[in-house]
Amino acid sequence: MSGAGARSLGIVGGGRIARRVAAGIRAGAAGDWDIVGVLVRSLEGREGELPWVVGMDAFRGRRPDLILELAGPDALSALGVALIECADVWSIGGSALADPVLEAAIAAAATRTGHRLRLVSAAIAGLDGVGAASIASDARVTVRLAPAGTDPDAEPDFRGTARELARRFHGVNIVAAAAFAGIGLDRTTVEYFRPLPEGGRRHHTIHAQSEDGSFLLRTGPVSTPDTGTKTVSASLLSGLRQLRQPIWAG
């Protein structure tokens, strides 16, 4: 759904998350946005009414006001600087920033252009609370990712910093988002349990503590091999809708 006052939106990726977000936008769930380009590697098998685009030059030519990077860490790693040079970017691939060279390059491009990169909270909530708790110099943030029903005393598959986790495991973008909302990749500690092969509900817990108070945040998104984590697309649509509202909270 779009009208005369619609803002233009570019999307990177044509997978399940991108398709769910595009369907929600076209149904009006995100307010008045006009999808002007969807960047993919190839047009093979691409059908429907979406404006598929191949190549960064062609995508740049669509002049989006905002770009959604929905292809994950590899896409952010390969295209992050070029994307941020075009417009503000919202990304679900924050674990790519565990590479300090990429982080510095994107930060430099953002400073140069005035555009910003936002790591979308996606499958976890309450990052504003993490940010508030992290203002104090003594702030501590711990993230625990585990399948539902995991024994509280079980030994995790990994314990260490958010940066170390992102370098070793796939699908931990929410940890990067929590780290950037709070005290950073190198100070945020993580307890990580691998997902079950059959999918199912996972519990994501963030405990942020400082002299200013304590925040304990827990979410339980459902993820399956076929649908992924549905709260990712829902959070993106909610964020887009808020940008178009005259009054909003968050």
Residue 1 confidence (pLDDT):
46
pLDDT in tens, 43-99: 998 988 899 999 999 999 999 999 999 999 999 999 999 999 999 999 999 999 999
Residue at 2 is within a domain: no
Residues in the chain: 250
Judgement on whether residues 19 and 76 belong to the same structural domain of the protein: yes
Residue at 193 is within a domain: yes
Residue at 14 is within a domain: yes
Judgement on whether residues 166 and 193 belong to the same structural domain of the protein: yes
CATH value at residue 186 = 3.30.360.10
Judgement on whether residues 29 and 114 belong to the same structural domain of the protein: yes
Asked whether residue 3 carries a pLDDT value surpassing 80, the answer given is no
- The single-letter DSSP state of residue 15 is S
pLDDT in tens, 132-173: 889 999 999 999 999 989 999 999 999 999 999 999 998 899
Token representation of residue 185? 């990749």
Half-sphere exposure of 21 (CA within 13 A, CB side): 35
Residue 226 confidence (pLDDT):
64
Judgement on whether residues 110 and 233 belong to the same structural domain of the protein: yes
Residue at 1 is within a domain: no
Q: Say which residue, 81 or 223, is predicted with more confidence.
A: 81
Tell me how far apart the terminal alpha carbons of the chain are, to the nearest angstrom: 25
Residue at 250 is within a domain: no
Judgement on whether residues 90 and 177 belong to the same structural domain of the protein: no
Contact 167, 98 (CB under 8 A): yes
Mean confidence (pLDDT) of the chain: 91
Domain count of the chain? 2
Residue at 31 is within a domain: yes
Judgement on whether residues 105 and 161 belong to the same structural domain of the protein: no
Asked whether residue 4 carries a pLDDT value surpassing 60, the answer given is no
Q: Cite the beta strand spans of 70-168 per DSSP E.
A: 88-91, 117-119, 140-147, 158-161
Judgement on whether residues 55 and 89 belong to the same structural domain of the protein: yes
Judgement on whether residues 160 and 81 belong to the same structural domain of the protein: no
pLDDT band at 6 (very low <50, low <70, confident <90, very high): confident
pLDDT in tens, 199-213: 678 889 999 999 988
Asked whether residue 243 carries a pLDDT value surpassing 70, the answer given is yes
Q: Say which residue, 142 or 230, is predicted with more confidence.
A: 142
Judgement on whether residues 136 and 203 belong to the same structural domain of the protein: yes
Judgement on whether residues 91 and 132 belong to the same structural domain of the protein: no
CATH value at residue 23 = 3.40.50.720
Residue 25 confidence (pLDDT):
95
| Host domain of residue 85 | 7-122+229-243
Least Cα distance to 20 among 8, 6, 7, 30 occurs for 30
Residue 208 confidence (pLDDT):
92
